[in-house]
Structures are given as structure tokens and as C-alpha cells.
Amino acid sequence: MSDKCRIAVLGGGSFGTALANIVADNGHNACLWLRNASDADEINQRHVNARYLPDYPLNPALKATTDLGEATANADVVFMSVPSKSCRDVAIELKKVINSSALLISTTKGIEPTQFKLMSEVLAEELSGMRLGVMSGPNLAKEIAARQLTATVIASRDDELNKKVQDLLRCGYFRVYASRDAYGVELGGALKNVYAIMAGMANALGIGQNTISMLLTRALAEMGRFAVSRGADPMTFLGLAGVGDLIVTCMSPLSRNYQVGFALGKGKKLDQIVAELGQVAEGVNTLRLVKQEADQRNVRMPLVNGLYDILYNEKTIKDVVGSLMWAEQSRDVEFVI
């Protein structure tokens, strides 16, 4: 383990809390920033985040605060784990208080509609000059909190940053691999949410394992094609941040995007599903953005088009599946190296 560091994690949701708890378990000075004062008090006094991780005790050394300046004061590393819709607003506030020498790590999986920006691009705009990395992988927060064996990817062309994050987070149940393809790692984390909706829908319909296997592999092919069009390395999608994250998100009922798809497969309308969840799953917004971007770049994405037709053009699942199966049969593996 590296020397003791001061670490700030911004975002008191399930993943931010689990991440901050790893840091505290590793003996570092960990502070979790969140907006809700009662949640912060509960973490400080009862050492539990009852809203997001009610069944998992937290390290008593983990501190929580609603004061962004207090959380980031003299921080060596700042992890950004807020929802994508809040990322820019928090970044604007963060600019006023962050230590300019701190390392900034984005863990948020999403896309901002303006000019199709990933969260690291938003942070780079608002906090120019900061040393920036992204972290993504098959990381269900409740399993991390339960100390089940998990791996993730830290990505940056700054090798020293990658090594620092690896040292901070490595423990008996959490392993961190490094990559230099930050854009590909982050793009994989955003794209897989779309296909998780499809997987949930397929499971609700009782579709067989052959079909699930076909869905996952064709989803990976689409992700690779789209990645190439955006300048990412398609080989990144064969790793944890690509196929690894795709598998866990498409196979787990813990995924909010999977839950949306499952409800769709049971015949519920999207508006009803969103109302019951209390928030929009990232994949719903990502679908619209990816569809628009793929059309503009002429990237073939039949699964994205099919789901878009179901959600927004009122086509039936049966009709969409039929059109997919009778489409032109193309090559299987088509990564461009």
C-alpha cells in the first residue's frame, strides 16, 4: 500500500460509498461528499449508508460531509462519482475549491447531450489543466460492499496517475488494471447500459440462452464499431471495461437498466417504469444519444435501432426481432485493428 493519502469521493450513492469505504479500509484519510445532511450524519454516527447500502457496515474512519470545500481540502486524489446529469454543475463548484495538484478520477458512466460529451470531457472543460483519469468496469456496488472479488480499470495516458490509483484501491477483494485508452474505457461504461435494457427485456420474455449469447456478442460487435468511429481502440472492448462490464450489467437484476428492460418485457410503458424507479436509468438517455450519433456517422447498430423503435416508435418486440433476424447476414468478427 502507498503512503497515507487524503482522498475525496464526490457522490454518496452506492458506488461512491463503496469506493470510499475501500479507501478507508486501506488506511487512507477518506471523506465522502454528499448533498443530504441526514445521510451524512448517519454515515458519521452509525457507519452505514441506509439509503443506498443499508446492509453493509462502513469503516468507522470514513467521514462524510455536505461541504464540498471540506471534502476536498488538501485532497491528493478526488473521485467524481456523481450522476451524469449533475457532473457539470458539481465540476463548476469543484473548480472553486479543489487543490490544483490533485488527481481527478471520473467514475461516472454516462453521456452529456451537448455534442455527445463523456464525463471526462465535461471535467476537462470545467477543470482544465487537472491530471485526469477514468475508472470503469464490472463493478456492482453491492457486491463490492460485500467484499466479493471484483476488478476494474483505471485509464489515462498519465502512467503515474494509473499507478497511484492502483496502489490506493488494491486490496484482497478489489483489483485495478491499467489502460491508456481512457476514451474507450469510458465509452464502454456508457454504451453497455443500452444493451442491459435489451437483456432485461429478453429475460422477461423467457428467451433462451442461445439468444442471450447472440445478444451479448452482437452487442459487443456494435460497441466495437461505434468505438472505432469515435477514435477509441476496439481491443479495449475485449477487456473488463468492455465485455466484462457488458456481461455483468446484462446478467444482473441489480442493474437499473436491466430492471427497465425487464419491466418493458412484462408489458409496462416507459413512463410508468421511470415513475416506479424514481429516476431514469442511464441507458434510456444514452440510447437516444447513441442512435443520433450512429446515424450521423453512418455506423451500423441494428440492436440500438431496434430498441429505439420499441421505446419511441411504438413497434412491437415481435416485429423488431423479426426484422433483426431477416436482415442481411454479415461477418461475425469485424474489429478493425
Q: Which residues are catalytic?
A: 192
With contact defined as beta carbons under 8 Å apart, do 25 and 96 qualify?
Answer: no
Residues 60 and 15: their CA atoms lie apart, in Å, by 18
Helix (H) or strand (E) holding 150: strand 150-155
Q: How far is 132 from 161, CA to CA, in rounded Å?
A: 8
- Looking up cell 457522490 gives 11
Other CB atoms closer than 10 Å to residue 316's CB: what's the count?
10
Give the distance between the most distant pair of CA atoms in the chain: 61
Count the residues in the chain: 337
- At residue 100's C-alpha, the angle toward residues 97 and 103, to 5°, is 105
DSSP H stretches of helix in the chain: 14-25, 37-46, 68-72, 87-94, 119-126, 141-145, 159-169, 182-204, 209-229, 245-251, 256-265, 270-277, 282-297, 302-312, 317-325
Look-up of cell digits 472505432: 228
* 57-70 CB burial, b ≥16 within 10 A, e <16: ebbeebbbbbebee
